[in-house]
Amino acid sequence: MLKKILPVAVSAVAVAALAACGSSSGAAAGASGAGAGGGDKIVMGFAQVGAESGWRTANTKNVQESAKTAGIELKFSDAQQKQENQIKAIRSYIQQKVDVIAFSPVVETGWDTVLLEAKRANIPVILTDRAVDSEDKTLYKTFLGSDFVAEGKKAGEWLVKDSEGKSEVNVVELQGTTGAAPAIDRKEGFADAIKAAPQIKVIASQTGDFTRSGGKQVMEAFLKSNPKIDVVYAHNDDMGLGAIEAIEAAGKVPGKDIKIITVDAVHDGMQALADGKINYIVECSPLLGDQLMDLAKKVVAGESVPERVVTEETTFTQEQAKTALPSRKY
Ligand code: AHR
C-alpha cells in the first residue's frame, strides 16, 4: 500500500479471505497481501458483480491480467450478484486502507452511504462497467464503461430496418438483472429506437438475470404463453444462448423461425451468430482492465481524470461474425 500503515482490526470476513490469497468470493474482500502493509505498490480493491455471464468472466480475467501488467496489487472479491456482498467488500477495502477502490455496481441505487464512507476515508473510487444513480458526483472520481442506452438503440435500429415491409413483428425481451444499469438502459435505448416502426411490439418482457439458465427458463415460459413470437431481444449473449436452447426444445429454428438480437459479442455468442442461430449482436467490450489501471494510477497520484470514459464498441452481422471470430480476444 502506498505510504500507508495498516493498523486495522481486520474483520472475520477479511481474515477468511486472507486464506484465499487475495482472491475471494461472496462478501469477502481479499485481505492484506504483500503490499498492503507498506510497500510502494498501488493497492486496488476490486468488488466484482459475480460470474453470471461469459462477459463477466472475460472482464474479471482482463482486470486481473491488466493489474499484473501495471504492477498494481489487486484485492478481488466476487459479490455473487448481491449488493450487500459488494457493500461488505467495499467496507472491508476501506478498513484495509487500500489506495483505490474500483467496482462494477450490481444495481444502480443504494450506494451513497458506502461511497461517502470511502470519501471520508480519502480513498478514491472508480466505477467500472456499470453506473450508480448518486446525485453527488464527488462520491466517485470517474466512470469507465459502455454507453448502454446506445447499445439498446443499435439493437432497436437493426430491428427497425429488418422489419421494413412487415405488418406485425412481435418481440419478447429478456432483461438483465432488475435494477442494473445495463438492464435499465438497454431497455430504454431499444424502446426508443423501435418507436420508428409501430408494427414492432414488445409483447412480453422479463428478467433472466443475465444468465444462460435464466434466459432459457424465461424463454420457455414466453413460448408457452405467446403463440406468435417473431423476435427475441436479449440484453446479453448468455440469455440469448439460453433462449436458443428453449426455442430448439420447442421444435423451432432459432435465427429463422424466431430471430434473435443480443448484446456483448463474447465468443459463444459470436459462434452462434456465425452459425446463423443469432441474427445480430451489439458489442459490449469487457476489456476495461488497461484503462482502469491507467485511471487508477492517475487518481492515486491526485491527477485529474475525465468524469466519464466511454468504451468504443461496434456491432456484428452473421457475415461479420464469421470474419471476426478467429481474432476475438474473448
Ligand atoms: O454490465 C455488463 C453486463 O453484465 C454484460 O452485458 C452482461 O453480460 C453482464 O452480466
| Domain containing residue 111: CATH number | 3.40.50.2300
Evaluate whether residue 136 is within a structural domain: yes
CB 146 near ligand 1, within 6 Å: no
Evaluate whether residue 28 is within a structural domain: no
Evaluate whether residue 38 is within a structural domain: no
Judge if 233 and 301 occupy the same domain. Answer: no
Cα–Cα distance for residue pair 177/233, rounded to 1 Å:
15
Evaluate whether residue 2 is within a structural domain: no
Question: Which positions ≥6 away from 184 have C-beta within 8 Å?
Answer: 108, 148
Judge if 142 and 291 occupy the same domain. Answer: yes
- Contact (CB, 8 A) for 116 and 93: no
Type and span of the H or E element at 148:
helix 148-162
Domain that holds residue 142: 43-146+286-313
Adjacent-strand bridge partners of 77: 47
Cα–Cα distance for residue pair 73/250, rounded to 1 Å:
49
Judge if 133 and 187 occupy the same domain. Answer: no
Cα–Cα distance for residue pair 254/252, rounded to 1 Å:
6
Cα–Cα distance for residue pair 232/174, rounded to 1 Å:
7
Evaluate whether residue 54 is within a structural domain: yes
CB 55 near ligand 1, within 6 Å: yes
Judge if 167 and 272 occupy the same domain. Answer: yes
Residue-level length of the chain = 330
Atom of ligand 1 nearest to the CA of 284: 6
Half-sphere exposure of residue 6, counting CA atoms within 13 Å on the CB side? 22
Atom of ligand 1 nearest to the CA of 50: 10
C-alpha cell at 169: 413483428
330 alpha carbon – ligand 1 mean position (Å): 14
Judge if 226 and 163 occupy the same domain. Answer: yes
Evaluate whether residue 263 is within a structural domain: yes
Question: Which positions ≥6 away from 236 have C-beta within 8 Å?
Answer: 53, 55, 176, 182, 210, 262, 263, 264, 284
- Contact (CB, 8 A) for 315 and 283: yes
Judge if 223 and 258 occupy the same domain. Answer: yes
Tell me which of 55, 270, 288 to substitute to probe ligand 1's pocket, judged by most ligand atoms within 8 Å of the beta carbon: 55
CB 152 near ligand 1, within 6 Å: no
C-alpha cell at 86: 459488494
Q: Which residues of the chain have pLDDT under 50?
A: 3-37
Atom of ligand 1 nearest to the CA of 130: 1
Adjacent-strand bridge partners of 315: 282
Judge if 156 and 124 occupy the same domain. Answer: no
Cα–Cα distance for residue pair 20/71, rounded to 1 Å:
20
Closest listed residue to residue 145, CA positions, set 180, 94, 97, 110: 180
**Tally of domains within the chain:** 2
Distances in whole angstroms, Cα of residue 315 to Cα of each of 279, 318, 320: 11, 10, 9
Judge if 270 and 157 occupy the same domain. Answer: yes
Tell me which of 264, 287, 330 to substitute to probe ligand 1's pocket, judged by most ligand atoms within 8 Å of the beta carbon: 264
Cα–Cα distance for residue pair 231/323, rounded to 1 Å:
25
- DSSP state, 109? S
Global pTM?
A: 0.90
Torsion (CA) 293, 299, 303, 305 in degrees, nearest 10: 70
Cα 151 from chain centre: 13
53 alpha carbon – ligand 1 mean position (Å): 7
Judge if 165 and 277 occupy the same domain. Answer: yes
pLDDT, residue 30, reads 44
Cα–Cα distance for residue pair 180/105, rounded to 1 Å:
8
Judge if 138 and 154 occupy the same domain. Answer: no
CB 280 near ligand 1, within 6 Å: no
pLDDT, residue 25, reads 42
Judge if 153 and 271 occupy the same domain. Answer: yes
Atom of ligand 1 nearest to the CA of 177: 10
Judge if 168 and 187 occupy the same domain. Answer: yes
CB 262 near ligand 1, within 6 Å: no
Evaluate whether residue 181 is within a structural domain: yes
Evaluate whether residue 120 is within a structural domain: yes
Burial class of residue 164 (count of CB atoms within 10 Å of its CB; 0-12, 13-18, 19+): exposed
